Amino acid sequence: MWKLAPALACGCTIVMKPAELTSLSALRIGELALEAGLPPGVLNIVPGPGRVVGDALVNHPDVDKVTFTGSPGVGRGILRGAAGNFKRVSLELGGKSANVIFDDADLDAATKAAAAGIFFNAGQVCSAGSRVLAQEAVYDEVVERLTARAESLRIGDTADKGTALGPVISEKQMKSILDYVDIGEKEGATLTTGGRRVGDRGYYISPAVFANVAHEMRISQEEIFGPVVSVIKFRDEADAARIANGTAYSLAAGVWSRDIGRTQRFVKKANAGTVWINTYGYTDVRLPWGGARDSGFGREHGAQALETFTEPKSVWMNLNV
Amino acid sequence: MSIAYDYHNTTTTAAIPHKQLLIDGQHVESVSGRSFKTLNPATEEVIATISEGNEADVERAVSAARRAFEGRWSTMRAAERGHILLKLAELMKQHADELAELESRDAGKPIAAVLRQDLPSAIDTLTYYAGWADKISGDVVSTRPRCADLHGARAGRRGGRHRALEFPADDRHVETGAGAGLRLHHRDEAG
């Protein structure tokens, strides 16, 4: 809806390729759109594999603009394909967002929010707080609290309203995430909880907390897109900023401290399209959303989005006629 | 055409719904006739088969989008576009339980999260942009005397081409039909 709504509001017409693994909602909304009176052809939906349907759209000479949410690898391919007719491109790609907890933070609130920030939707969120940076003095307590939160999450049937953690999207993703857990252990990080398949039906993974993670480790640099958090120790403000900014991504960050100056200094230094202060994860269509580098470019939401779906025209009119 | 989902029957003897492409207002099979299965990640059961598109279907879809862009969607009042989006938001609210359950099964998301977060957020986004539909306009910029210089926004699309914007010379206010409102104010006349 983040893409459909502004495009339609601007008077665009659309060919949509929904994610192959989750096409049903999009198709149902397409049906409702017709019922709402959307004229035929305004919204077209073509499910299918990215490399076939997506490529065809990206390469089509009569398509003016492409907007994409997904992995940096695919994003790169889209940019290349768009070069054909210089399509306008918006990309919302990956993240490895840092949730930074200073020693004067409200640790209860910070760790509850940090756990929600990584385990919501089993970590399958572009802005997941997949790194928690904890200042030296509170590091051990942060690890303990995150571990306890992870273990308290109810994993279960997604149709059950009491379930907090569901499966990951596919078998392929499940394998990839379990591989990363393996990599983390081999790199020398300490798995304090989780990181194993749960049951033998459904792609469930128990939420994982890695302690003693070094900034350069793969589990600290690469997007896992699963319920796995890496907890990294930092010394001071400069160290926190260096580590927070030290990945290829720049989608979002969080900072926890009761010191206003400290939070503002972090906001200033953070390479992130969105920064949360003493909270995490909120988005609203009224606030710009996006990042840079491996997080993509351009901003969704708000009035910004309208500019990405319209083409300016300058007109001179002689009134002396 | 709407397809009834049997949410309560998850045994493999149940008929599995088949979903088609949506092109030019019609539900159609892909040109190749191929389909793929989609699973519920929580149970690994097949919950639907979906017609699988390829380049030929993209071609049909882009053509349909072009025709629609140059048709009613362009010529209708911007406010009416907004009304249609609001109607869609209303339908989503009416079908909230159905949509939430569908998304929960298809994506493996806990239903509480979909009801609390995903679905309200989608409806809010749609409602918000519905309000923008008739507020997209341009500027009049002062450069030379006896000249109105307009900077307007023209709707682009996935598949668009240039649309001519016309304004009758004796109208003070001109609003074009599609996603581009140009308001022409003469400097010596009040607002």
pLDDT at A91 over 90: yes
Catalytically active residues of A, by annotation: 92, 126
CB contact under 8 A, A203 and B44: yes
Question: What's CA A238's distance to the chain center, in Å?
Answer: 25
Q: Provide the pLDDT confidence category of residue A14 given band limits of 50, 70 and 90.
A: very high
User: Chain B 80-119, CB below 8 Å of chain A: which residues?
Assistant: 81-82, 84-85, 87-88, 90-92, 95, 98-99, 101-113
Q: What is the reported pLDDT for B14?
A: 64
Cβ of residue B48 closer than 8 Å to a chain A Cβ: yes
Q: How big is the CA angle at A157 (ends A153 and A160), to the nearest 5 degrees?
A: 85
The predicted structure's pLDDT at residue A10: 94
Specify whether the CB–CB gap between A253 and A272 falls below 8 A. Answer: yes
Of the residues A15, A177, A201, the best mutation for testing chain B's interface (the one with the most B CB atoms within 10 Å of its CB) is A15
Mean pLDDT of B18-31: 98
B153/A39 Cβ within 8 A? no
Compare CB distances from A66 to B87, B158, B180 and report the shortest one's residue: B158
d(CA B50, CA B52): 6
Given a cut of 80, whether residue B20 has pLDDT beyond it is yes
Residue A6 identity (one-letter amino acid): P
Distance, in Å, from the CA atom of B155 to the CA atom of B181, rounded to the nearest integer, reads: 10
Q: A58 contacts in B (CB within 8 Å)?
A: none
> What does the pLDDT read at residue B180?
32
Report whether pLDDT(A38) > 90: yes
Q: How confident is the model over B63-72, as pLDDT tens digits?
A: 999 999 999 9
Chain A residues in contact with B167 by the CB 8 A cut-off are 317
Arithmetic mean of pLDDT over chain B: 77
pLDDT band of residue B138 (cuts 50, 70, 90) is: confident
Is the model's pLDDT at A11 over the cut of 60?
Answer: yes
A207 vs A312: which has the higher pLDDT: A207
Quote the CA–CA distance of B96 and B102 in Å, as a whole number.
Answer: 10
Of B52, B55, B151, the CB nearest to A312: B151
Size of interface A-B (CB pairs under 8 A): 343
Which two structure tokens, joined as six digits, stand for A140?
Answer: 């051990």
Higher per-residue confidence, B174 vs A216: A216
CB distance B121–A285 less than 8 Å? Answer: yes
- The confidence score (pLDDT) of residue B145 equals 63
Average pLDDT, chain A: 96
pLDDT above 70 covers what percent of chain B? 68
Checking if the pLDDT of B45 tops 90, the result is yes
A137, B86 contact by CB (below 8 A): no
Facing B111 at nearest CB: one of A29, A158, A285: A158
User: Each residue of A53-63: pLDDT tens digit?
Assistant: 999 999 999 99
Q: Is the whole model's pTM more than 0.95, yes or no?
A: no
- Shortest Cα–Cα distance, B157 to chain A (Å): 4
Q: Which of B150, B151, B178 sits opposite A11 (nearest CB)?
A: B178
Q: Which residues contact B10 (CB under 8 A, 6 or more apart)?
A: B43, B45
**Are residues A11 and B73, on separate chains, in Cβ contact within 8 Å?**
yes
Identity of the residue numbered A177: I
ipTM: 0.94
Residue B63 CB burial class (10 angstroms; 0-12, 13-18, ≥19): middle
Query: How confident is the model over B141-181, as pLDDT tens digits?
Result: 877 665 656 666 555 444 322 222 333 333 333 333 333 33
CB A48 within 8 A of CB B54: yes
Predicted confidence (pLDDT) at residue B9 exceeds the cutoff of 90? no
Percent of chain A residues past pLDDT 90, beyond the cut: 94
Instruction: Determine contact, residues B40/B73, Cβ cutoff 8 Å.
Output: no
Task: Encode pLDDT of A262-301 as tens digits.
Answer: 999 999 999 999 999 999 999 999 999 999 999 999 899 9
Nearest C-alpha of chain A: how many angstroms from B11?
A: 15
Looking at CA atoms only, how far is residue A7 from chain B in angstroms? 7
pLDDT range class, residue B139, cuts 50, 70, 90 = confident
Rg of chain A (C-alpha set): 22
A175 has a pLDDT exceeding 50: yes
pLDDT at B143: 75
